[in-house]
Structures are given as C-alpha cells and as structure tokens.
Amino acid sequence: QSTGLERERKMSAELSFRERQKLRKLKRQKRLAGEDDSESSSGPPTGLAAEEGVPTKEKPWNPVEISSDHVRRPLVEESSFATLFPSYREKYLLEVWPDVKKALIAHGIAADLDVVEGSMTVRTTRAVIDPFIIVKSRDVIKLLSRSVPLHQALRLLEDDVNCDVVKIGGLVRNKERFVKRRQRLIGPNGATLKAIEILTGCYVLVQGKTVSAIGSFKGLKMVRKIVEDCMKNIHPVLSNQTIDD
C-alpha cells in the first residue's frame, strides 16, 4: 500500500511540474507577442529594458516653462560684475548702450556705463527670474569690450549659446612668429576664419592677443583646439581636415 501511495504522489508531482512548465511557456509566448506589438507600433526598445526583453514605452514628459509665478521671493543679495574697456571702444559703446540696457533689463539686469573710469557694470535687480543670467550678462559686457559687435554679444542671453575667450599672447614668445601665426589663423581676406566659422558653427573674432568665440559647447571646443594648434605651428587647414575625419 505504501509503495502504491508513493507512486501516486510521484505521478501527481510530475504532472504538476509539467503543468507549471506549460504555463510558463504560455506566459513567455504572450510576453513575446506583446513585445512584437510594441516594437511594430513604437519602434525598437532601448536601454536596459531592451536587454532584459521587457517592452518599454516612451514617457511624454511635459516641459515646464519657468515664469515669474515660479519665483516666490527675489534674490537675497545683489550680484554685480564690472569690466574695463579700451578707449577706442568708447564711441561705439556710447552709441549702442541704450540697446544694451534695453536687452538686459528684459531679463532683470541693470547695466551702467562709466566713461570716466572706462568700465561697464551689470547687476541683478528684484525682477531677476533666472539667477544664471548675471553670468551671461557678465560675458556680454566682456565681449563688448573685446570688439565683438552688439548683435553677436546679445546672442549669449540665449540658453544654448555660450562663449570662450582664448588667450594666445603667451603661446608664442617671438613677436614676429606670433604675428605670422595669428595672420595664418585669419587667412587671406579672412577666408580661413570664415571656414572655421562654417565648420564649427561659431562666431570667431581675432582681436589683439585674444580670440573670442560664440556658439555651442561642441563648437567652442573645436575652435579652441584649432586656435591652439595654429599657435603651435599646425596650419588650420590640417586641423579642419582632422575634425572632418
């Protein structure tokens, strides 16, 4: 009797095990069928979920626009930056300064021009919404002092536009070599400089012992590499070819 009971138990255990295997296969087939439907409708899955075989769906995140309603309190302290400008920029700055003040006050930044001391100052007000705008305004007046036109300098107030100032005065000791390599960077009638601007998508200005650039982070990195290589006696055309490759 005991052996018969043991046989019945073994048979029932084997049947339950087979049934569980069948259920697992059915679930796996249903899951794979669901993955095929999701791939045909929303494209191939990406990331960790794709490796594990789990279907993923894109989550439509709603972009949040920052407005004055989000800022409950003004900034605790006032921040300000000042920069000096050369005397030959005085006439141009006096002409465009009303436009500079109009553009900055729209972001809650006050701007002052001191012709006696030869300085420009920007400071925050209680109307500032974005605290980082003061850093952008500092870069605007810094570029204006380096002979950058107003319409190019005001591009910095946009979120995806940045600037970089490459100091090339200390890269070459010999003055004659420095002048030749700087002229090589500009090219005949500015052709090389124009090619660099088209390649990198940045505005580039060579003035004195500095090179000012305005554009995206990726383009600014490319401009810095080209300028530094040119000062190391590597022609900009060769740098352009390596970047294209």
Q: Give Cα 40 distance to the centre of its chain.
A: 34
pLDDT in tens, 119-143: 999 999 988 888 889 999 999 999 9
Which has the minimum average pLDDT: 33-42, 178-187, 234-243?
Answer: 33-42
CA torsion, ordered 88, 113, 107, 78, to nearest 10 deg: 130
pLDDT in tens, 131-177: 889 999 999 999 999 999 999 999 999 988 999 999 998 888 889 99
| Residue that wins the pLDDT comparison between 34 and 132 | 132
Task: With beta carbons less than 8 A apart as the criterion, state whether 140 and 132 touch.
Answer: no
CA quadruple 173, 240, 188, 144: dihedral sign: negative
Task: With beta carbons less than 8 A apart as the criterion, state whether 31 and 38 touch.
Answer: no
pLDDT in tens, 60-75: 566 666 666 666 667 7
Its pTM surpasses 0.75: no
